[in-house]
Chain A
Amino acid sequence: MFWQVALGIAAAQLTHRRRQTIVSTMGVALGVGFFIATSSVMSGSEKDLTRRLVDNAPHITIKDEFRTAAKQPVYLAYPDATVKLTNTKPREYLRGIKNYGAIVEELSQQPGVIAEAALTGQAIVRYASKDVGASIAGIDPEKERHLTTVERDMREGSLMRLKTASQGIVIGRGMSVRLGLGMEDLATVVSPTGLVRRMKVVGIFSTGNLLLDEGQVYMLVKDAQVLLDKPFIANRIRIKIADPDDAEVFASRIESRWGYRSESWQEVNRDFLGLFAIRNTITYSIVGAIMIVASFGIFNIISTTVMEKRRDIAILMSMGFRAFDIQTIFLVQGVFIGLIGMLLGWGIGLVLLQMLASVEFTIPGMSEKQGIVLDRGFFQFALGGFFSVVSAVGAAWYPARKAAQVRPVDIIRGAT
């Protein structure tokens, strides 16, 4: 019964000052709409980029190098002594991961872990008297499927054909176009040491990344070992683990176990991830500012109403309305503006998302047209709605309290 009155009075006051109500509701709606649009663009691109970082590349790469240069034996022998050596020459050691088979074996035993020994290097691909410099990756096709997205990016042939074809290579679309090198063609691959091999194209991929599409060549590890003249050597162990978020811990465990530099995807992309944090702070501050401006609008309309309705408040109180009732009447107006603002804001958000989804553009360095990746999560809408209602109630709170503190005697004495 009380709610009937409170809602009735609140609704009457809101509709009485229709224009201000609409303006302040639109303020909230725009805030919510832009919040949804901005945060789904931001969160969408963040998720998309993170997914690419995580999916396109191994979670962890063990390299055939060490994080710090090896110390001279004399420093190890006398750790506390004051020693200075000059003109020393670090010991040459054979590049490559020793005993990589055992490491891969041990890692693969852990649940959810895929480990692949790989050999990378440089070579020149020559066809029809044209040359292209290429990064060679000697891989295991069976495992590579799980480690990177190259299989998904295959346009012709397949990665698996490397296993059946002898001397097969998989190249990118860009290289294929530049050299006029198609499926089943025999290219000449020249290693830095001058080794020349004739290899057959068994697959063509296209990632959209110009660098990869023009310069990456996949082959079997053993073919790479022969080509690069590094028999029985791998210089990378590429690892995928069950939960990408564990990669940093996992990498440091590997590093302390075997000593080789182990880079998690987070470490490699540290600056990227830092950028996300900065970007999120900036966008959410701006959206927060919009919401604050919107709640000033609500504060303004409710305060004005309270000021103008002091007589009504006084008579309601003399009739027997409690201070709480009066507070509720004005708080309800804030909630109402917040809720309507939320619903309209959802509508605006949907329209904005629709518009953003239809935008297409080309990023320099990418061969294919890109759309904006949106995170159309329920979460953005829920959060936007939550903000609008909370800021509306927050903005209405103070004037509603003021209304409840009106002393009817002061008003009635003044009015008569």
Chain B
Amino acid sequence: MSDPAPLLEARGVTRILQEAVPVTLVRDIDLTIGQGEFVSVTGPSGSGKSSLLYLLGLLDLPTAGQIFIDGIETTGLSANELAAIRLSRIGFVFQFHFLLPEFSVLHNVLLPMQRLGVLSDAEMMERGHALLEELDIADQAKKRPDQLSGGQRQRVAVARALANDPALILADEPTGNLDSKNSEIVQEIFAKLVRDEGRTVIAVTHEVGFAAATARNVHLIDGRIDSDTRR
């Protein structure tokens, strides 16, 4: 890797909601994640796992601290600049698939590519098909999301997250809605993305098995990092 800067770095990241009673979602998070790392984030319900993931993915803004992506400081960037970084460098997978119901599976995967507008139409189609192939749902390409099983939908969501070839995949309980068999399939997909494609995956999970399979585990309690262990 030519770029010496880590893929993702958080320094003293704190997010406090200014409500009638201020709510601290996460506090003083220091975290450095390099390329090709597979990180699981665990912790009790309400410990701030989702909040941390939104902050790292530039969906939410910290009230204090800095987040660097590829060495670029994101503090102070405009909403449009943050959107541009999300578009080309970050892929999200959530517990709910969030596929657009009016569009076919393939079209859903094409949306981020079309928005980025780098590839030609033919190249996009090719890449879309290749991604569906990779996730073993190529035969479902023309169907609508509601005609798919839960596991298939989640794989489409992963394909969509990969559309613009992002280095960073952020997943919030991606297997939370799946049965154990589908859960294993999705876990294996993430492992492959890291192992074979050198992507970085940060996955929030409740599943002990999932966490155990990752090389690094960050455990949160009450919005703070309780432990950060590598295997």
Contact = CB atoms under 8 A, between A and B. Distances in A.
Interface in A1-40: 1-2, 4-5, 8-9, 12-13, 15-16
Contacts of A195: none
B80 A324 contact: yes
B96 A415 contact: yes
B92 A319 contact: yes
A319 B113 CA distance: 10
A320 interface: yes
A320 B94 contact: no
A416 B102 contact: no
Interface string B102-115: 11000100011011
A261 interface: no
B210 interface: no
Contacts of A321: 83, 87, 115
B59 interface: yes
A408 interface: yes
A314 B102 contact: no
A267 interface: no
B95 interface: yes
Given A2-B115, A320-B87, A409-B60, A9 B100 contact: yes
A300 to B, nearest CB: 20
A2 B117 contact: yes
Contact of B94 (A5, A12, A415): A415
Interface string A224-265: 000000000000000000000000000000000000000000
Contacts of B36: none
Contacts of B107: 8
B34 interface: no
Contact of A4 (B83, B88, B114): B114
B176 interface: yes
Given A4-B114, A12-B100, A319-B86, A409 B80 contact: no
The number of chain A residues touching the other chain, given as a range, is 20 to 34
A320 B83 contact: yes
Contact of B95 (A8, A311, A416): A416
A412 interface: yes
Interface string A273-316: 00000000000000000000000000000000000000110111
B200 interface: no
A408 B54 CA distance: 10
B104 to A, nearest CB: 10
Contact of B114 (A5, A312, A408): A5
Given A5-B114, A415-B96, A408 B80 contact: no
Given A321-B83, A409-B59, A314 B98 contact: yes
Interface residues of B, number: 35
Contacts of A13: 102
Given A2-B115, A318-B86, A319-B86, A416 B54 contact: no
A8 to B, nearest CB: 8
Given A12-B103, A315-B98, A320-B84, A413 B115 contact: no
Contacts of A372: none
A325 interface: yes
B50 interface: yes
A198 interface: no
Contacts of A5: 111, 114-115
B172 A416 contact: yes
B173 interface: yes
A5 B111 CA distance: 7
Contacts of B60: 409
A322 interface: yes
A292 B103 CA distance: 33
B50 A416 contact: yes
Give the most central of A2, A9, A416: most B CB within 10 Å: A416
Given A319-B87, A408-B59, A409-B54, A1 B94 contact: no
A301 to B, nearest CB: 15
Given A408-B59, A409-B60, 15 more contacts: A1-B115, A2-B117, A9-B100, A16-B101, A311-B98, A312-B98, A315-B98, A318-B92, A319-B111, A320-B116, A322-B80, A323-B80, A324-B80, A412-B94, A415-B96
29 contacts: A1-B117, A2-B117, A5-B111, A8-B107, A12-B100, A12-B102, A13-B102, A15-B102, A16-B101, A312-B101, A315-B92, A317-B83, A318-B57, A318-B59, A319-B112, A320-B85, A320-B164, A322-B80, A323-B79, A323-B83, A324-B80, A412-B54, A412-B98, A412-B172, A413-B54, A416-B94, A416-B172, A416-B173, A416-B176
The 8 A-B pairs at the shortest CB distance, nearest first, are namely A320-B87, A1-B117, A12-B102, A315-B98, A416-B95, A320-B86, A5-B114, A322-B83
